[in-house]
Structure formats: C-alpha cells, structure tokens
C-alpha cells in the first residue's frame, strides 16, 4: 500500500470539557498518513487517478475549525471518518496533539488507525418540507434520498401554516429516518443540497429562508449526540424540534421514544409540551409519496 503523508496541519477548535477550555478555540496539530494505491497515477500522470489530498485537507480544515469536542479521541475519529468514508482512502493514521495541554510537556495527543470497516452506519433523522408543488417535490425528494442512502422509516405527511411570512401556501412536511456512512457535512453537501437543487431550490436568489420553498431538507438528529457542524455552523439536534410543532410531530411519529440529546426527554414528551392550539394546526394530509 502506498502512503500520502500530511504533517503538522495546525488548526484551531473548541476542545475540552473544563470551563477555560470551552471559552476560546485552542490549537490542535494534526498529522495524517493516508493509505492509497498510486500505481495508476504514476503511469498516467493525471490528478484524477490519485487520491486528492488537497480536497481531503480542505474538508478536515472546514470540519475542525467549526467543531466542538470534549475529547481529542473523538476529534481524531471524526477526522479518520472524513478520510476513509467521505473520501475513500483505503486506510488512515491520524495523529492529533494539543500543545501545552499538560504541564511540563510540549503537547499531549493520540494516534489512531482506521479503515472504513471500523465505522458503523449512523442513524439520522431528516426533515423534508415544501410549499411549492409539495406533492411532486416531496415524492421526488424521497426517491432521490432513497438512491443515496437507506431509508428506514418515513412519517406521514403533515400540513401546517407557514411561519415568518404568512402570505404563502401551507407547508407539507415529512420526516425520514435514514442510515448513512457519511459525516454530517458530507451528508448535507453531497446528498441534501443536491436534492434541494434538483427540486428547484435556488439558495442564491432566495430572499428569505421563511419564504416559499420548493424543498427544504434539514438534519434533525444525528445518532445520539449534540454538536455543531459545517461553516454556518448548523446544530444537531436541530433547534426547530423545540421551536416548531410542525417539526417535532412528524419526527416523534417515527421516533417517539428517542431521547432528545439536550433535553434528556423523549420526543413524544417534547411534542406534549407544545400548546394544544399549536399541535392542532399540524394536520395529516392524505398523501403518500410515490
């Protein structure tokens, strides 16, 4: 096996569990050994025939600099997953060090080795909503989602009044329980965003996220953990679960006993906390995606 070496990538992120560690970003130093097969590229001299270490490095930088972890071990595992799952490296060795983390020591860190086989699929819950031709757009979105990952369950379809700008059509919403090997950032960028685009969503020209939408897809839950991800950053669990009955009700239908990572109670209990008037506005639609 051939190996690509990336040494001493110096980044910053929130890492630790002590009060002073959670206040500001800290330095982390990352080194990688990426297992790959360079033989074809060595013959063709074409960039597309080798593992693109620049793309992998950019993905790691985006993830680390917008992440928050308690443990160096968890950060190292997330980096390894980006390499072997999202970018198909055959094998990876990840070294992550925190300079000055231990008195009398230059740094403290971990060294791990992983292949794709070391990672289990993640169970995630995704909201799918539309108020522009919703029957067609929801059907198309679910079909495309099923081509990209395994759909384990779908909620019924719910209709609810819009929020933000009231002068628009009601929204139709469905929640999907899916299984994926990808990281949240890769799942959003390579699956959810292209599906939204295929269904006619144009984020560049959209005046407001609360306006009419051909399709809106969001990660609601990702495993059993709470974290931030991506450049925005986005948050898991999604804040809409606690804020909108239209988000919580379809989710609780297919996962009533799942515990909300922040609240420590079931999703069914979260739905019950919404005022009755808000819950009654979320109505079933006699529609099943084709």
Helix orientation angle between 53-65 and 72-81, rounded to the nearest 10 degrees: 140
What number of other Cβ atoms are within 10 A of residue 77's Cβ?
Answer: 19
The answer, yes or no, to whether residue 58 has pLDDT greater than 90, is yes
Average pLDDT over residues 16-36: 87
pLDDT score for 123: 97
pLDDT of the residue at 269: 98
Q: In the structure, what pLDDT confidence band is assigned to residue 290 with cuts at 50, 70 and 90?
A: confident
Query: Is pLDDT at 207 greater than 60 in this prediction?
Result: no
How do residues 248-269 score in pLDDT, each as one tens digit? 999 999 999 999 999 999 999 9
Q: What pLDDT, on a 0 to 100 scale, did the predictor assign at position 24?
A: 82
Average pLDDT, the chain: 92
Residue 226, pLDDT score: 87
Query: Any residues with CB less than 8 A from the CB of 141 and at least 6 apart, and which?
Result: 128, 130, 195, 196, 199, 215, 217
Residue 195 has a pLDDT of 97
Q: What pLDDT is stored for residue 31 in this prediction? A: 98
Weakest-pLDDT range from 138-147, 165-174, 208-217, 258-267:
208-217
Q: Domains of the chain by range and CATH?
A: 2-118 (3.30.1130.10), 122-285 (3.30.70.560)
pLDDT of 209 > 80? The answer is: no
- What's the pLDDT at 8? 95
Share of the chain above pLDDT 90, in %: 76
Nearest Cα residue to 9 out of 38, 29, 24, 26: 29
In this predicted structure, the answer to whether residue 82 has a pLDDT above a threshold of 80 is yes
- pTM attached to this predicted model: 0.81
Contacts of range 184-189, beta carbons closer than 8 Å, 24 or more positions apart: 184/124, 184/219, 184/222, 184/229, 184/230, 184/234, 184/236, 185/59, 185/62, 185/63, 185/229, 185/230, 186/59, 186/82, 186/85, 186/86, 187/124, 187/149, 187/219, 188/219, 188/230, 188/234
93 CB neighbour count, 10 Å cutoff = 18
Residue 181 — pLDDT band, cuts 50, 70, 90? very high
Q: Lowest-pLDDT range, 27-36, 95-104, 170-179?
A: 95-104
* Helix (H/G/I), strand (E/B), else coil: 151: strand
Per-residue pLDDT tens digits for 126-161: 999 999 999 999 999 999 999 999 999 999 999 999
Residues of the chain with pLDDT > 70, as a percent, come to: 97
| pLDDT score, position 206 | 54
Q: Is the pLDDT of residue 282 over 70?
A: yes
What's the token pair of residue 32?
A: 């990688």
The pLDDT assigned to 65 comes to 87
């Amino acid at each position: 096996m051939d190996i690509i070496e990336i040494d001493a990538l110096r980044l910053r992120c929130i890492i630790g569990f002590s009060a002073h560690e959670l206040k500001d970003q800290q330095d982390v130093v990352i080194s990688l050994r990426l297992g790959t097969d360079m033989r074809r590229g060595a013959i063709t001299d074409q960039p597309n025939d080798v593992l693109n270490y620049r793309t992998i490095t950019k993905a790691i930088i985006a993830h680390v600099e917008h992440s928050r972890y308690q443990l160096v071990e968890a950060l190292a595992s997330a980096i390894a997953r980006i390499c072997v799952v999202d970018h198909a490296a055959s094998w990876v060795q990840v070294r992550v060090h925190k300079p000055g983390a231990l008195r009398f020591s230059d740094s403290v860190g971990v060294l791990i080795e992983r292949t794709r086989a070391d990672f289990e699929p993640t169970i995630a819950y995704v909201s799918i909503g539309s108020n522009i031709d919703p029957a067609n757009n929801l059907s198309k979105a679910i079909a495309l989602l099923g081509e990209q990952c395994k759909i384990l369950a779908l909620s019924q379809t719910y209709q609810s009044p819009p929020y933000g700008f009231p002068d628009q059509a009601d929204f139709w919403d469905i929640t999907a329980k899916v299984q994926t090997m990808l990281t949240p950032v890769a799942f959003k960028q390579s699956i959810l965003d292209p599906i939204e685009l295929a269904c006619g969503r144009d984020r560049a020209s959209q005046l407001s996220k609360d306006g009419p939408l051909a399709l809106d897809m969001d990660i609601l839950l990702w495993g059993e953990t709470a974290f931030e991800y991506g450049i925005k950053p986005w948050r898991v669990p999604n804040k809409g679960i606690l804020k909108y009955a239209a988000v919580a009700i379809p989710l609780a239908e297919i996962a009533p006993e799942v515990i909300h990572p922040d609240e420590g109670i079931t999703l069914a209990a979260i739905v019950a906390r919404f005022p009755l008037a808000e819950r009654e506005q979320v109505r079933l639609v006699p529609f099943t995606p084709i």
